[in-house]
Amino acid sequence: MTGTALQLGLDTFGDITRGSDGELLSAAQTIRHIVDQAVLADELGLAAFNVGEHHRREFAVSSPEIVLAAIAARTSGIRLGTAVTVLSSDDPVRVYERFATLDALSAGRAEVILGRGSFTESFPLFGYDLHDYEVLFEEKLDLFSRLLTEQPVTWEGTTRAGLADADVFPKTEGGLTAWVGVGGSPESVVRTARYGYGLMLAIIGGPADRFRPFVDRFHRSLETFGHGPRPVGIHSPGYVAETDQQSWEEAYEHFEVMNNTIGRERGWPAYSRLRFQHDVGPEGALYVGSAETVARKIVDTVTMLGADRFDMKYSTGTLPHEKMMRSIELYGSVVAPLVQDMLASH
């Protein structure tokens, strides 16, 4: 770890949820619920709240910065970011401008987690060729890194018009915090270190210990590139209820819906109870269970990887708003203190 206390945050992709009548809610109502969920997270003293960007029917949020601006107006302490901003199909200048504006509205609480995204709908939607997948991210990350200096930028690339001594506004009061979301590619880890960003590991399948070599590579690469310590974060799905059994019963059908929806597109086998029980166990990437079970698994993971932050993706599939609110309440009021106590006793 970088020496700071572990931070606990929450992530949501704005999954379209079901109401009390079992019918799917509108995207508009889902977005309003996200704001309420963030307000609760802030009241509980959690460190961060991150909203994902997607452009497909299962998710309500395509413009996370607007949602985060609404949250900023109703919160006071929690850091506000994305999970992730799909930089490849966006413009780095506009991304900087939007987050600098969010930083002003939130009094310095804005963060951006940059990534290539796990879906590709945004590429044709905004006129980008998937054949340029790698070069789009590389060039745009380079430009964004220069914009973060908040000095005039001169830049040339192949994926957008160059800049000559361009000054971008508004300026922030204390700089903008930026991370890169990485799914486990060694090249992505090295690139993140080269630009001096924080590393946010998306651990959504398999045992967490397989990411230890990536963390070690990240720290070695930071030294090679002459950067000081940078934080390591973890993003993983989870759900908290009063008991393990209750959490499993309440969460399973919604994990099943989401996995099967995406799986039909990607050729995955049908999700099953057996797979779910493996995923919630010690070797799986789901943090689903009672507060004590989830806290213990978080501690095991962050200790193994030397992480500075753990963000639980609390929304999955059609999980109802009321269930998510209770999960957030338990995460903030019970899991968080347990995690800090367990870490202190290590």
Predicted local distance difference test score (pLDDT) of residue 2: 57
Is residue 1 a part of any domain in this protein?
no
Residues sharing a CB contact under 8 Å with residue 75, sequence separation 6 or more, in sequence order: 38, 39, 42, 49, 106, 109
The Cα–Cα gap between 160 and 139 comes to: 9
Q: How many domains does the chain have?
A: 1
The Cα–Cα gap between 209 and 42 comes to: 31
Flag whether pLDDT at 105 surpasses 80.
yes
Is residue 213 a part of any domain in this protein?
yes
Domain boundaries, position 268: 7-345
Is residue 2 a part of any domain in this protein?
no
* Crossing angle of helices 186-195 and 133-147, rounded to 10°: 20
* Crossing angle of helices 92-105 and 133-147, rounded to 10°: 50
Instruction: Give pTM, 2 decimals.
Output: 0.97
Is residue 317 a part of any domain in this protein?
yes
Is residue 37 a part of any domain in this protein?
yes
- In tens, the pLDDT along 317-339 reads 999 999 999 999 999 999 999 99
Q: Helix, strand, coil: what percent of the chain each, to 5?
A: 45, 20, 35
Is residue 272 a part of any domain in this protein?
yes
Is residue 56 a part of any domain in this protein?
yes
Mean pLDDT, the chain, rounded, equals: 96
Residue 181, classed as helix, strand or coil, is strand
Flag whether pLDDT at 72 surpasses 70.
yes
Predicted local distance difference test score (pLDDT) of residue 184: 80
pLDDT level of residue 4 (50, 70, 90 thresholds): low
Q: Which residue, among 9, 14, 11, 10, has the nearest Cα to 319 in the 3D structure?
A: 14
pLDDT level of residue 117 (50, 70, 90 thresholds): confident
Residue 283's CATH number: 3.20.20.30
Kindly calculate the radius of gyration of the chain based on its CA atoms and give it in whole angstroms: 19
- In tens, the pLDDT along 268-299 reads 999 999 999 999 999 999 999 999 999 999 99
Mean pLDDT of 23-36: 98
pLDDT level of residue 5 (50, 70, 90 thresholds): confident
- In tens, the pLDDT along 53-68 reads 999 999 999 999 999 9
Is residue 38 a part of any domain in this protein?
yes
Check residue 19 and give left, alpha or beta (phi > 0: left; psi -120 to 50: alpha): beta
For residue 11, list its beta bridge partners: 50, 313
Residue 276, classed as helix, strand or coil, is helix
- In tens, the pLDDT along 160-197 reads 999 999 999 999 999 999 999 999 899 999 999 999 99
- Alpha-carbon torsion angle 58, 61, 62, 63, nearest 10: 180
Q: How far is CA 59 from CA 51, 118, 231, in A?
A: 11, 13, 29
